[in-house]
């Protein structure tokens, strides 16, 4: 083990020295400065990757029946002198048997060894014998790392499971599918862990995706904080974690009623914004500008030709406006040139009629042109390039273009739709009058969460595609996304390479899709593959049994997951309606005394959070509104007034199902006594 850490230290030192020399290198031009910065940034990432792998550098070893052995770790390490690597990256093909071998299919392995390190010291060893041979003195057979990980205390942060990925999880992580990979599974099946390890694998296995980066989208900041350490612990720091609000760069503090939010999430709103935009793109009319003392006029047909060419040439209204301006100026100068030619021909014809002389023959200009001689530059010739440059900078020309094709701001486009009953009726004819009235807002109303995808849609229509796109996108709690939010995600992933994680039994009240086909087909067609996780590693069998009837009501077609773990049966405590908070405090004190150091969570209706926080419950446990509990886990969970959660918002029974399945060990529900 010491030799591996010595090699890691050596590689870190080499990378630091290389970066320092790169930064000191002279750069005589802007191009050389840029190249130096790129090289330094690449080396900084490599240093971060190596340093991130130090904790738990090695976690496994596989021994073949022929005596060959490989160590498995967070990164790969090798030297030129050795044929075999000293350490195999867990994502490498050579590491597959560590995850896939079983006693039924040992893959020529005799032993799979699991190691646990603290600092740089091995503190535990556990072996699995796979070929049916008897243990020897060198084998350490125990319960295994999975059992240890499942029984460990929660810390409030998700950790990498690279040492304990199970075969069905590893198969998804290593999938060669380049399109959309969907991970469907019930509570505790490790969906999020699989998705994050899938992101790490993509960065390793698919260089193009690694160059363009990976985006992880989560439902809220609380969830992203919970998963934030997983990828850095796998040596991957070049990953962006964001909510939809952060992607759009919009800050909101207001939420719409659920009926309104559901309407704003529908794809009809995208069509409405696009239709409203077209009203501002030279729908009709001609174009006239003054050049010197003379007006130059373009017909409506000429303007329409320029408009169509501008729309085809540039994505985004404002970039296309500049194209339109250039096309109109080109048309004006072309028309000036034609008019000048026509005028000169008319002058020559009039002179010939009055004098009986051919002026071209008389001056010899025609002969000189035929012989290719330089013309002396008659006064009537135009410098078209100069005229064009002047017109592009002319304020009057810009004002004339503004009438046809005004510059727009994304927020103003959204307001123009949502504050105007006539615009809503014109562009959303399929909605009822009542539905359109729900969308109508005041001009000074603050933006809401449901407005974020509309603003992002408007930004893409007005200014073009987002500045940053990604080679691969991971979406957790993907069942929560509305059609408009899906459009946000797909815009940022041109290759349509995504890993999506979700469970429609846990869907919230705003999303309307009932399955993955309905959610994804409008955006990626048939290019998605659904994987089902069937085993719960976190939630005990007793807790899963307690919510089976609830699951049947909210998702009758969903097959229940089975658990590998057993534990305490869930408990129910009743209290007077005005004593629920007191009962929660008492239960938390009892659990803290009986199980010191464990992570406790209280899940309640959103409207109860302030009350519980005021009671000082945050000193004993984390208070989580039911709407934000998806994806979280605790050693013990107290669910306050489940009936209130179930009725707090549409689809509340799904919120309750989520709340009741967040515990890894103990679940207690505190209900109100009947009046």
Residue owning tokens 């599974």: 185
What is the 3 state secondary structure string of 443-507?
Answer: CCCCCEHHHHHHHHHHHHHHHCCCCCCCCEEEECCHHHCCHHHHHHHHHCCCCCCEEEEECHHHC
> What pLDDT, on a 0 to 100 scale, did the predictor assign at position 151?
57
For the chain, list residues with pLDDT below 50: 373-380
- Write out the binding residues: 185-192
From the centroid of its chain, how far is CA 660?
Answer: 28
Q: What are phi and psi of 138, to 5 degrees?
A: -85, -10
pLDDT of 146 reads 55
pTM exceeds 0.75 for this model: yes
User: Helix, strand or coil for residue 405?
Assistant: coil
Q: What span, in angstroms and rounded, lies between the C-alpha atoms of 21 and 40?
A: 9
pLDDT score recorded for residue 441: 94
Q: CA nearest 389: which of 303, 312, 307, 325?
A: 325
> What pLDDT is stored for residue 565 in this prediction?
87
* CA dihedral sign of residues 85, 91, 95, 98: positive
pLDDT of residue 377: 46
Residue 115, both tokens: 């190691």
pLDDT the model gives residue 619: 85
Distances (CA, A) of 385 to 151, 291, 334, 336, 379: 77, 14, 11, 12, 16
SS3 533: strand
pLDDT at residue 557, as a whole number: 87
- φ/ψ of residue 147, rounded to 5: -60, -40
User: Residues annotated as binding site for ATP?
Assistant: 185-192
């Amino acid at each position: 083990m010491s030799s591996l850490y010595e090699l890691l230290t050596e590689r870190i030192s080499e990378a630091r020295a290389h970066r320092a020399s790169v930064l000191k290198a002279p750069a005589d031009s802007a191009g050389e400065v840029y190249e130096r910065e790129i090289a330094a940034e690449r080396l900084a990432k490599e240093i971060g990757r190596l340093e991130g792998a130090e904790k738990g550098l090695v976690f496994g070893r596989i021994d073949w029946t022929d005596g060959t052995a490989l160590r498995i770790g967070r990164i790969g390490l090798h030297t030129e002198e050795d044929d075999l690597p000293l350490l195999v990256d867990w994502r490498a093909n050579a590491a597959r048997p560590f995850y896939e071998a079983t006693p039924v299919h040992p893959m020529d392995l005799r032993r799979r060894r699991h190691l646990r390190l603290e600092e740089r010291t091995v503190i535990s060893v556990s072996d699995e014998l796979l070929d049916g041979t008897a243990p020897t003195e060198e084998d350490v057979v125990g319960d295994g790392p999975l059992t240890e990980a499942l029984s460990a205390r929660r810390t409030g942060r998700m950790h990498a499971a690279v040492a304990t990925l199970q075969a069905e999880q590893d198969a998804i992580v290593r999938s060669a599918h380049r399109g959309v990979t969907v991970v469907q599974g019930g509570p505790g099946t490790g969906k999020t862990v699989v998705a994050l390890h899938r992101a790490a694998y993509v960065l390793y296995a698919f260089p193009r995706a690694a160059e363009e980066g990976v985006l992880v989208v989560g439902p809220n900041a609380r969830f992203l904080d919970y998963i934030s350490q997983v990828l850095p612990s796998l040596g991957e720091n070049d990953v962006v974690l964001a909510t939809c609000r952060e992607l759009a760069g919009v800050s909101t503090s207001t939420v719409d009623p659920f009926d309104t939010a559901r309407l704003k999430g529908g794809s009809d709103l995208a069509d409405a914004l696009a239709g409203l935009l077209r009203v501002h793109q030279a729908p009709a009319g001609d174009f006239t500008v003054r050049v010197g003392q003379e007006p130059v006029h373009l017909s409506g047909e000429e303007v329409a030709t320029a408009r169509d060419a501008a729309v085809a040439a540039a994505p985004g209204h404002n970039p296309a406006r500049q194209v339109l301006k250039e096309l109109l100026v080109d048309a004006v100068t072309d028309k000036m040139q034609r008019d000048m030619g026509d005028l000169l021909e008319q002058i020559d014809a009039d002179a010939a009629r009055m004098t009986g002389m051919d002026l071209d023959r008389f001056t010899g200009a025609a002969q000189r042109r035929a012989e290719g001689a330089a013309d002396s530059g008659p006064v009537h010739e135009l410098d078209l390039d100069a005229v064009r440059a002047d017109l592009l900078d002319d304020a009057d020309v810009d004002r004339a273009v503004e009438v046809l094709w005004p510059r727009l701001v994304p927020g103003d486009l959204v307001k123009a739709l949502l504050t105007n009953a006539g615009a809503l009726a014109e562009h959303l004819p399929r909605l009822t009058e009542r539905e359109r009235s729900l969308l109508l807002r005041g001009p000074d109303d603050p933006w809401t969460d449901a407005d974020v995808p509309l603003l992002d849609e408007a930004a893409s229509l007005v200014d073009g595609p987002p500045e940053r796109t990604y080679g691969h996108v991971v979406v957790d709690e993907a069942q929560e996304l509305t059609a408009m939010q899906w459009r946000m995600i797909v815009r940022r992933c041109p290759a349509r390479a995504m890993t999506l994680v979700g469970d429609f039994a846990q869907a919230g009240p705003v999303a309307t899709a009932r399955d993955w086909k309905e959610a994804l087909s409008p955006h990626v067609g048939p290019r998605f593959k659904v994987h089902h996780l069937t085993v719960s590693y976190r939630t005990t069998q007793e807790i899963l049994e307690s919510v089976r009837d609830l699951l049947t009501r909210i998702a009758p077609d969903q097959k229940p997951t089975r658990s590998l773990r057993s534990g305490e049966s869930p408990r129910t405590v009743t209290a007077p309606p005005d004593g629920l908070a007191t009962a929660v405090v008492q239960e938390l004190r009892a659990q803290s005394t009986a199980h010191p150091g464990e992570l406790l969570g209280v899940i309640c209706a959103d409207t109860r959070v302030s009350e519980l926080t005021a009671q000082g419950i945050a000193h004993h446990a984390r208070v989580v509104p039911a709407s934000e509990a998806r994806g979280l886990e605790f050693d013990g969970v107290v669910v306050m007034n489940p009936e209130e959660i179930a009725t707090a918002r549409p689809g509340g029974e799904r919120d309750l199902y989520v709340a009741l399945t967040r515990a890894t060990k103990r679940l207690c529900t505190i209900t109100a006594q009947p009046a």
